[in-house]
Structures are given as structure tokens and as C-alpha cells.
Amino acid sequence: MPEELQEEEELTEDLLARLVDRREGVRETAAEALAASTGDEDWRPDDLILCDGIGKIIDLLSDRNPHVVRSALTILIAIASAGHEEELLSHGIIDGLEQVQDHRDPAIRKMAREALWLLTPDVEERMAPEPLEED
């Protein structure tokens, strides 16, 4: 494995380990670093997938820190946009996204809708309020 690729994998592993740290600031910094890396034109989700990071990122959707949740959503949207929807779906992402649909932060709600749109063809049915029954 070329040295640069090995360094990237080690960095990804280190950041993923920090996502489960009990200290909020450590989790936030690691999540933001991973989210920022998705903006790189050479970014690919392969290291995250190989390091079993998808589950850790989905778990961040329940973090109380909105910065962590937004970063997690950025990463998850990037993974879905890169064509790895099945990996996300197999890790139960839909349940995680449904939990944040009612989040107090409107940016998080919007990002959750975007992620659902990428992952499910019936997203409009999920997001539309149920009709009121008439007597």
C-alpha cells in the first residue's frame, strides 16, 4: 500500500476512534474534520467503509451537539452521493434519519430530508404529513 494511502487510512481510523470519545469537544472536532474531508475532490468513502465507520457516524445522529449532528449528516450525504447507498441502508440509516426529522435545528431537518431523498424513492411519502380523517 502506498505510504500516502496508509497515512490516510490511519488518520481515518484515528478520527473514527475519536467519534466515540466521551468528551463533546473531541467528538465535535473529529466529526467536523471528517465532514470537511468530504469536500476534497479526491475524497472517497472507502476508508470509512473499510474501517467500519458508517455505524459510528450514524450513531452521531443522536448526539446532543447540533454541530456533531450536522457534520454526521454531511458525511452521510457525501457517502450516499458517492453511490454507497446500500452500505448506509444496511447499517440502519433510515431509522437514524427519521429520529432527526423533528430536530429543533432547521438545518438538521433540511439535511435529513436531503439524505432521505438520496436514499429512498418514496421520500415524499415519508415527509408528508398524514391526512386528517374526516368523520
Domain carrying residue 68: 3-121
Does the residue 68 lie in any domain? yes
Does the residue 134 lie in any domain? no
pLDDT at position 9 is: 82
What is the number of structural domains in the chain? 1
User: Which of 55, 109, 99 lies closest to 79, judged by CA?
Assistant: 55
Does the residue 127 lie in any domain? no
Does the residue 17 lie in any domain? yes
Q: pLDDT in tens for each of the 135 residues of the chain?
A: 577 777 888 888 999 999 999 999 999 999 999 999 999 888 889 889 988 899 999 999 999 999 999 999 999 999 999 999 999 999 999 999 999 999 999 999 999 999 999 998 664 544 445 555 555
Does the residue 130 lie in any domain? no
pLDDT at position 133 is: 57
Contact 8, 20 (CB under 8 A): no
Does the residue 135 lie in any domain? no
Does the residue 89 lie in any domain? yes
Return the DSSP state at 132.
P
The CATH number of the domain where 37 resides is what?
1.25.10.10
